[in-house]
Amino acid sequence: MKEVRDLAGKVAIITGGGSGIGLGCVRYLADVGAKVVIIDVNESAGEAACEEIDGKAVFIRTDVSSSSDCRRAVEEVAQRFGRIDILVNSAGVIRRKNVVDLAEEEWDLVLDVSLKGTYLMSKYVIPVMERSGGAIVNIGSGWGLKGGPQAAAYCAAKGGVVNLTRAMAIDHGPQKIRVNCVCPGDVDTPLLRSEAVQLGADESTFMAEAGDRPLARVGTPLDIAKAVYFLVSDLSPWVTGAIVTVDGGGLA
Protein backbone atom coordinates (compact mmCIF):
# COMPACT_ATOMS: atom_id res chain seq x y z
CA MET A 1 0.00 0.00 0.00
CA LYS A 2 2.95 2.36 0.41
CA GLU A 3 2.98 3.31 -3.23
CA VAL A 4 -0.71 4.23 -3.06
CA ARG A 5 -0.28 6.50 -0.04
CA ASP A 6 2.98 8.11 -1.06
CA LEU A 7 2.90 11.44 -2.95
CA ALA A 8 6.69 11.59 -3.29
CA GLY A 9 7.69 13.39 -6.47
CA LYS A 10 4.37 15.22 -6.73
CA VAL A 11 4.18 19.01 -6.68
CA ALA A 12 1.12 20.48 -4.95
CA ILE A 13 -0.04 24.11 -4.93
CA ILE A 14 -2.34 25.03 -2.04
CA THR A 15 -4.00 28.44 -1.99
CA GLY A 16 -4.87 29.94 1.38
CA GLY A 17 -2.12 27.70 2.71
CA GLY A 18 -1.10 30.02 5.51
CA SER A 19 -3.98 29.16 7.84
CA GLY A 20 -7.09 27.09 8.43
CA ILE A 21 -8.08 24.37 6.00
CA GLY A 22 -5.33 25.37 3.59
CA LEU A 23 -2.68 24.97 6.28
CA GLY A 24 -4.15 21.61 7.23
CA CYS A 25 -3.75 20.49 3.62
CA VAL A 26 -0.19 21.83 3.52
CA ARG A 27 0.76 19.82 6.59
CA TYR A 28 -0.88 16.59 5.49
CA LEU A 29 0.23 16.55 1.86
CA ALA A 30 3.78 17.42 2.88
CA ASP A 31 3.68 14.62 5.44
CA VAL A 32 2.80 12.07 2.75
CA GLY A 33 5.66 13.20 0.56
CA ALA A 34 4.46 15.98 -1.74
CA LYS A 35 6.52 19.07 -2.42
CA VAL A 36 4.12 21.81 -1.36
CA VAL A 37 3.83 25.36 -2.65
CA ILE A 38 1.99 27.64 -0.23
CA ILE A 39 0.01 30.42 -1.88
CA ASP A 40 -1.32 33.14 0.42
CA VAL A 41 -1.72 36.92 0.46
CA ASN A 42 -0.74 36.99 4.15
CA GLU A 43 3.04 37.05 3.98
CA SER A 44 3.73 36.45 7.68
CA ALA A 45 1.32 33.49 7.82
CA GLY A 46 2.70 32.00 4.62
CA GLU A 47 6.30 32.29 5.78
CA ALA A 48 5.44 30.81 9.18
CA ALA A 49 3.73 27.85 7.51
CA CYS A 50 6.71 27.37 5.24
CA GLU A 51 9.10 27.42 8.19
CA GLU A 52 6.94 24.89 10.05
CA ILE A 53 7.07 22.42 7.16
CA ASP A 54 10.86 22.96 6.98
CA GLY A 55 12.24 21.93 3.64
CA LYS A 56 9.06 20.39 2.26
CA ALA A 57 7.38 23.64 1.24
CA VAL A 58 8.00 26.97 -0.43
CA PHE A 59 5.92 30.12 -0.09
CA ILE A 60 4.91 32.50 -2.87
CA ARG A 61 2.96 35.57 -1.81
CA THR A 62 -0.02 35.76 -4.15
CA ASP A 63 -3.31 37.60 -4.30
CA VAL A 64 -5.53 34.96 -5.92
CA SER A 65 -7.93 37.66 -7.13
CA SER A 66 -5.14 39.11 -9.30
CA SER A 67 -4.60 37.56 -12.72
CA SER A 68 -1.01 38.80 -12.89
CA ASP A 69 -0.20 37.43 -9.42
CA CYS A 70 -1.64 34.01 -10.24
CA ARG A 71 0.13 33.82 -13.57
CA ARG A 72 3.45 34.83 -12.00
CA ALA A 73 3.11 32.30 -9.18
CA VAL A 74 2.32 29.42 -11.53
CA GLU A 75 5.18 30.36 -13.85
CA GLU A 76 7.54 30.39 -10.86
CA VAL A 77 6.40 26.94 -9.75
CA ALA A 78 6.66 25.50 -13.25
CA GLN A 79 10.15 26.93 -13.70
CA ARG A 80 11.34 25.72 -10.31
CA PHE A 81 9.88 22.21 -10.32
CA GLY A 82 9.05 21.52 -13.96
CA ARG A 83 5.60 20.17 -13.15
CA ILE A 84 2.38 20.73 -11.20
CA ASP A 85 0.46 17.63 -10.15
CA ILE A 86 -2.00 18.93 -7.57
CA LEU A 87 -3.92 22.17 -7.05
CA VAL A 88 -6.02 22.77 -3.94
CA ASN A 89 -8.10 25.96 -4.22
CA SER A 90 -8.68 26.72 -0.55
CA ALA A 91 -8.39 30.53 -0.29
CA GLY A 92 -11.59 32.14 0.91
CA VAL A 93 -13.13 34.88 3.03
CA ILE A 94 -16.56 35.40 4.53
CA ARG A 95 -18.73 38.37 5.39
CA ARG A 96 -21.77 37.51 7.52
CA LYS A 97 -24.35 39.87 6.04
CA ASN A 98 -27.53 39.74 3.98
CA VAL A 99 -27.74 41.43 0.57
CA VAL A 100 -29.23 44.63 1.98
CA ASP A 101 -26.48 45.17 4.55
CA LEU A 102 -23.65 43.87 2.37
CA ALA A 103 -21.52 46.60 0.78
CA GLU A 104 -20.63 46.16 -2.87
CA GLU A 105 -16.94 46.02 -2.05
CA GLU A 106 -17.61 43.21 0.45
CA TRP A 107 -19.50 41.26 -2.22
CA ASP A 108 -16.58 41.80 -4.60
CA LEU A 109 -14.03 40.66 -2.01
CA VAL A 110 -15.81 37.40 -1.19
CA LEU A 111 -16.52 36.52 -4.82
CA ASP A 112 -13.05 37.56 -5.99
CA VAL A 113 -11.16 35.45 -3.46
CA SER A 114 -13.32 32.33 -3.32
CA LEU A 115 -14.69 32.07 -6.86
CA LYS A 116 -12.54 34.21 -9.12
CA GLY A 117 -9.43 32.96 -7.33
CA THR A 118 -10.41 29.37 -8.08
CA TYR A 119 -10.91 30.26 -11.74
CA LEU A 120 -7.64 32.17 -12.06
CA MET A 121 -5.41 29.59 -10.39
CA SER A 122 -6.99 26.82 -12.44
CA LYS A 123 -6.65 28.86 -15.63
CA TYR A 124 -2.89 29.08 -15.26
CA VAL A 125 -2.23 25.69 -13.65
CA ILE A 126 -4.11 23.52 -16.14
CA PRO A 127 -1.82 24.19 -19.14
CA VAL A 128 1.12 23.01 -17.02
CA MET A 129 -0.77 20.13 -15.41
CA GLU A 130 -2.04 18.74 -18.70
CA ARG A 131 1.48 17.67 -19.68
CA SER A 132 1.20 14.65 -17.38
CA GLY A 133 -2.28 14.87 -15.85
CA GLY A 134 -3.17 15.72 -12.29
CA ALA A 135 -5.84 16.51 -9.74
CA ILE A 136 -7.58 19.70 -8.67
CA VAL A 137 -9.65 19.98 -5.49
CA ASN A 138 -11.80 23.06 -4.97
CA ILE A 139 -12.86 23.80 -1.40
CA GLY A 140 -16.56 24.55 -1.39
CA SER A 141 -18.85 24.61 1.64
CA GLY A 142 -22.02 23.08 2.95
CA TRP A 143 -23.44 26.52 2.21
CA GLY A 144 -22.55 25.96 -1.41
CA LEU A 145 -25.16 23.18 -1.37
CA LYS A 146 -27.84 24.88 0.73
CA GLY A 147 -28.51 28.39 1.93
CA GLY A 148 -27.31 29.91 5.18
CA PRO A 149 -28.29 32.97 7.20
CA GLN A 150 -26.50 36.29 6.90
CA ALA A 151 -23.98 34.96 4.38
CA ALA A 152 -25.31 35.96 0.97
CA ALA A 153 -21.98 36.55 -0.78
CA TYR A 154 -20.37 33.47 0.73
CA CYS A 155 -23.28 31.23 -0.32
CA ALA A 156 -23.13 32.68 -3.83
CA ALA A 157 -19.37 32.18 -4.08
CA LYS A 158 -19.35 28.63 -2.77
CA GLY A 159 -22.36 27.67 -4.89
CA GLY A 160 -20.35 28.90 -7.86
CA VAL A 161 -17.33 26.86 -6.78
CA VAL A 162 -19.47 23.71 -6.62
CA ASN A 163 -20.81 24.04 -10.16
CA LEU A 164 -17.53 25.35 -11.56
CA THR A 165 -16.03 22.08 -10.33
CA ARG A 166 -18.47 20.07 -12.42
CA ALA A 167 -17.82 22.18 -15.52
CA MET A 168 -14.06 21.86 -15.13
CA ALA A 169 -14.31 18.08 -14.67
CA ILE A 170 -16.18 17.82 -17.97
CA ASP A 171 -13.81 20.11 -19.86
CA HIS A 172 -10.51 18.74 -18.62
CA GLY A 173 -11.14 15.04 -18.12
CA PRO A 174 -9.79 14.32 -21.63
CA GLN A 175 -6.49 15.87 -20.47
CA LYS A 176 -6.38 13.36 -17.59
CA ILE A 177 -7.08 16.08 -15.05
CA ARG A 178 -9.54 15.14 -12.33
CA VAL A 179 -11.48 17.98 -10.68
CA ASN A 180 -13.44 17.47 -7.47
CA CYS A 181 -14.90 19.58 -4.67
CA VAL A 182 -14.82 19.11 -0.91
CA CYS A 183 -17.64 20.87 0.95
CA PRO A 184 -16.75 21.22 4.64
CA GLY A 185 -19.12 21.96 7.44
CA ASP A 186 -18.01 24.15 10.33
CA VAL A 187 -14.28 23.65 10.85
CA ASP A 188 -12.33 25.15 13.75
CA THR A 189 -10.31 27.78 11.90
CA PRO A 190 -9.65 31.49 12.33
CA LEU A 191 -12.23 32.05 9.57
CA LEU A 192 -14.98 30.30 11.56
CA ARG A 193 -14.09 32.08 14.78
CA SER A 194 -14.14 35.42 12.93
CA GLU A 195 -17.80 34.79 12.16
CA ALA A 196 -18.65 35.03 15.86
CA VAL A 197 -17.04 38.48 15.94
CA GLN A 198 -18.88 39.58 12.79
CA LEU A 199 -22.20 38.45 14.23
CA GLY A 200 -21.52 39.90 17.68
CA ALA A 201 -21.90 36.45 19.23
CA ASP A 202 -20.10 34.92 22.19
CA GLU A 203 -17.31 32.80 20.68
CA SER A 204 -17.66 29.82 23.03
CA THR A 205 -21.42 29.69 22.52
CA PHE A 206 -21.00 30.09 18.77
CA MET A 207 -18.49 27.23 18.59
CA ALA A 208 -20.64 24.97 20.76
CA GLU A 209 -23.63 25.56 18.48
CA ALA A 210 -21.42 24.84 15.43
CA GLY A 211 -20.76 21.39 16.89
CA ASP A 212 -24.46 20.53 17.05
CA ARG A 213 -24.45 17.76 14.43
CA PRO A 214 -24.61 13.94 14.44
CA LEU A 215 -20.88 13.52 15.20
CA ALA A 216 -21.21 16.16 17.94
CA ARG A 217 -18.16 18.29 17.19
CA VAL A 218 -16.84 20.87 14.79
CA GLY A 219 -14.38 19.65 12.19
CA THR A 220 -10.63 20.09 12.15
CA PRO A 221 -8.40 21.10 9.24
CA LEU A 222 -7.01 17.56 9.34
CA ASP A 223 -10.50 16.13 8.75
CA ILE A 224 -10.70 18.11 5.52
CA ALA A 225 -7.09 17.46 4.52
CA LYS A 226 -7.66 13.71 4.63
CA ALA A 227 -10.61 14.03 2.25
CA VAL A 228 -8.52 16.22 -0.05
CA TYR A 229 -5.73 13.64 0.04
CA PHE A 230 -8.14 10.89 -1.04
CA LEU A 231 -9.17 12.98 -4.05
CA VAL A 232 -5.64 13.88 -5.18
CA SER A 233 -4.11 10.44 -4.61
CA ASP A 234 -4.22 7.19 -6.52
CA LEU A 235 -6.98 6.03 -4.19
CA SER A 236 -9.51 7.85 -6.42
CA PRO A 237 -8.38 7.29 -10.03
CA TRP A 238 -11.95 7.25 -11.42
CA VAL A 239 -13.39 10.06 -9.32
CA THR A 240 -14.01 13.39 -11.01
CA GLY A 241 -16.80 15.92 -10.87
CA ALA A 242 -17.65 14.70 -7.36
CA ILE A 243 -18.94 16.96 -4.60
CA VAL A 244 -17.84 15.41 -1.30
CA THR A 245 -19.51 16.69 1.85
CA VAL A 246 -17.31 16.48 4.96
CA ASP A 247 -19.36 17.94 7.79
CA GLY A 248 -19.93 15.46 10.59
CA GLY A 249 -23.43 14.83 9.29
CA GLY A 250 -24.55 18.45 9.44
CA LEU A 251 -26.39 18.45 6.12
CA ALA A 252 -27.89 15.06 6.86
**Nearest in space to 56 (alpha carbons), one of 41, 40, 37, 69:** 37
Eight-class DSSP state of 134: E
Q: Name the residue ranges covered by the structural domains of the chain.
A: 2-182+221-246
The pLDDT assigned to 55 comes to 81
pLDDT the model gives residue 54: 83
Active site amino acids? 154
pLDDT the model gives residue 3: 46
Q: What is the pLDDT at residue 5?
A: 61
Distance, in Å, from the CA atom of 195 to the CA atom of 48, rounded to the nearest integer, reads: 24
DSSP element (H, E) containing 223:
helix 221-232
In whole angstroms, give the CA distance from residue 42 to residue 22. 13
Q: What is the pLDDT along the chain (252 residues), one digit of tens a residue?
A: 444 568 999 999 999 999 999 999 999 999 999 999 999 999 999 999 999 998 889 999 999 999 999 999 999 999 999 999 999 999 999 999 999 999 999 999 999 999 999 999 999 999 999 999 999 999 999 999 999 999 999 999 999 999 999 999 999 999 999 999 999 999 999 999 999 999 999 999 999 999 999 999 999 999 999 999 999 999 999 999 999 999 999 999
pTM over 0.85: yes
What one-letter code names the amino acid at 71? R
Query: 2-182+221-246, which class in CATH?
Result: alpha beta
Question: What's CA 229's distance to the chain center, in Å?
Answer: 12
Separation of alpha carbons 168 and 210, rounded Å: 32
- What Å distances lie between residue 105 and 101, 112, 174, CA to CA? 12, 10, 38
Q: Can you give the pLDDT at residue 51?
A: 94
